[in-house]
Amino acid sequence: MHSLARLITFASVAVSLAECSGLVAPAYQGIPATASDPPDFNGTSTDSSSIVSTALQVDQKAGATGDAPPDQPVPNTTVTAVDGNLVNATIPNPTRRGLAEGVADSKLMRRNNSNYELVFWGTGTERNDRDASIEGTAYLTYTVVSNATYDIDDCLAFCDSVDGCVFANLYYEFFNPLLDFVFSQQSNLKCALYADVHTAAEKTNFGGQQLYPAPGPLNFIQQSSGWAAKSLVDPTTPPGYSQTFGPTNGANNAPGYMGFAFIDKYDVQACADLCDTRGADPVGGACEYFNIWRATVNGIPTTYTCAMYFIPSDNSTAVNFGQGDLLVTESRGYKRNNLIVDGGFEGYSCGSTAEAPFCFTPGYSAWQGTSSPGGNLDASIFNFQPYAHTGNAVALLGSAYGTDDLPGTLAPTAPIATEAGQSYTLQFFHSSFYSGEEAEAPATLEIIWNGQSVDTIHPGFAQWTGHQYTVTAQGNDLLQFKGGAAPAYVFIDDVALFPL
């Protein structure tokens, strides 16, 4: 009898709402007064052709040429292209997370106390022997070692001492006055270091420069050998991220693509910094995922791609293996960690019986809605795909039955596992179009962080829109969304908190 009585009450409410506005409340599976614009991810798939054509233009090859004295510090990773345009820029340096201190830079890293193996040998040192040194990607720095012998051990010890070094090119350079007279080491045996492994095919610097005043002899190279670390380790995962796949020979071909950068070495942390500082996409919001990979052209390392996405992915979409002579190698994916548990509400489901799921609840394991005193289901979670921004589930503020016009409050059931003092980006998507332009005009939404109001928005009638705020954590933080006064309903979806 009780349930019948409730049914009748609900039915009469539905009729009364319908009478005044034609609107059916969400709890009765009402259809929004205006159609939702679905998020338009058209044209947001990886633009592989732009990556490939830029990779064929960029020149990241370098070696121990020029005037630089030996033993210079390794330069910071630089960006060589952004979204198809060649540039020469440093990585923007975001406020580093506390955890980042002391974390080694991550590149193609060699194992500790590594042994090296010979990749190619040199021509010898006879009068007429001529050779060439490497010009390749991910050049780090060089030193000169004593030329009393062909001192391979000293060169490899130098590689061991430089972070990120996995390859050394050892060679004599003759008729370079800087080596002969200027630099204090008084040696012409150069040891050039790289953060990637190169082959004899990349011996392209034959000298031939007029370094002594004319008519002095041109410089030349002899006995150029290459040594690679025998074993490489996985790069360190940047703080605030989780690795989703790799290494494989497939780059992601996935939706939610925001653009790419080329960097001058395989530096996972640098790619994470680019993702952190990439401006939000107007449709998809913040960068939440990156795919780093090495491009080889005819087997020669050419550039290191950092592709950024607002939708996380994994190896299921890592299906772009290259194009023509360009191959994808060393591809890894990293997802930005979201501190909000089930920020998309997808953990709330209707069970397996329903064909087209429709159900709602005041709360479940991850989120809890609270009504105003005297209110009736003023904050709730719906599993009903037409209401959701992405996926099937979404949160609703405003009486789900349309029986009162009081605001509801939605909050995670547990405090957020933040790090005190750390700044975070809070991101969420909101819509207020359910009841149509007139009825939604007074829609409001307040964002509350540890009891303090961060902002109150008065969006009126609005399609799904992303919002971002910077908040500072005190540890075990409390987040609340308050608003919605039926029929000025407010929906919330895809809540995220990323360390800055």
Ligand X SMILES: *[C@@H]1O[C@H](CO)[C@@H](O)[C@H](O)[C@H]1NC(C)=O
Q: Which one of residues 179, 400, 411, 485 is an interface residue with ligand X (CB under 6 A)?
A: 179
- Residue 3 or 184 having the CB closest to ligand X: 184
Q: Which one of residues 2, 4, 40, 374 is an interface residue with ligand X (CB under 6 A)?
A: 40
CA torsion angle for 458, 39, 354, 345 (degrees, to 10)?
Answer: -50
Q: Which one of residues 22, 38, 217, 415 is an interface residue with ligand X (CB under 6 A)?
A: 38
- 177 near ligand X, rule: CB under 6 A: no
Binding mask 302-321 for ligand X (x = CB under 6 A): -------------xx-----
Task: Report CA Rg, the chain.
Answer: 30
Whose tokens are 């720095």? That residue is 141
Candidate segments 114-122, 185-193, 457-465, 467-475, binder of ligand X by CB under 6 A: 185-193
Candidate segments 154-162, 181-189, 201-209, 367-375, binder of ligand X by CB under 6 A: 181-189
- Residue 19 or 67 having the CB closest to ligand X: 67
- 329 near ligand X, rule: CB under 6 A: no
Q: Which of residues 211-250 bind ligand X (CB under 6 A)?
A: 245
Q: Is 74 helix (H, G, I), strand (E, B) or coil?
A: coil
Number of residues located near ligand X, criterion CB under 6 A: 18
Whole-number minimum distance, CB 147 to ligand X, in Å?
A: 4
- Residue 313 or 418 having the CB closest to ligand X: 313
- Residue 173 or 404 having the CB closest to ligand X: 173
- 45 near ligand X, rule: CB under 6 A: no
- The full DSSP string for 302-313 is EEEEEEEESS--
Whole-number minimum distance, CB 62 to ligand X, in Å?
A: 8
Candidate segments 178-186, 275-283, 297-305, 445-453, binder of ligand X by CB under 6 A: 178-186
3-state secondary structure 122-188: CCCCCCCCCECEECECCEEEEEEECCCCCCHHHHHHHHHHCCCCCEEEEEEEECCHHHHHHCCCCCC
**Measured between alpha carbons, how far is residue 383 from residues 232, 339, 387, 389, 482 in Å?**
46, 22, 8, 11, 20
Whole-number minimum distance, CB 300 to ligand X, in Å?
A: 18
Task: Say how many CA atoms lie within 13 Å of 382 toward its Cβ.
Answer: 30
Residue 362 contacts residue 376 (beta carbons within 8 Å): no
Task: Measure the CA–CA gap between 294 and 456, rounded to whole angstroms.
Answer: 45
CA torsion angle for 261, 266, 270, 274 (degrees, to 10)?
Answer: 20
Whole-number minimum distance, CB 468 to ligand X, in Å?
A: 23
- 147 near ligand X, rule: CB under 6 A: yes
Q: Which residues pair with 190 in a beta bridge?
A: 144, 171
Residues lying near ligand X in the complex (CB under 6 A): 38, 40, 42, 73, 75-76, 88, 93, 112, 147, 179-180, 186-188, 245, 315-316
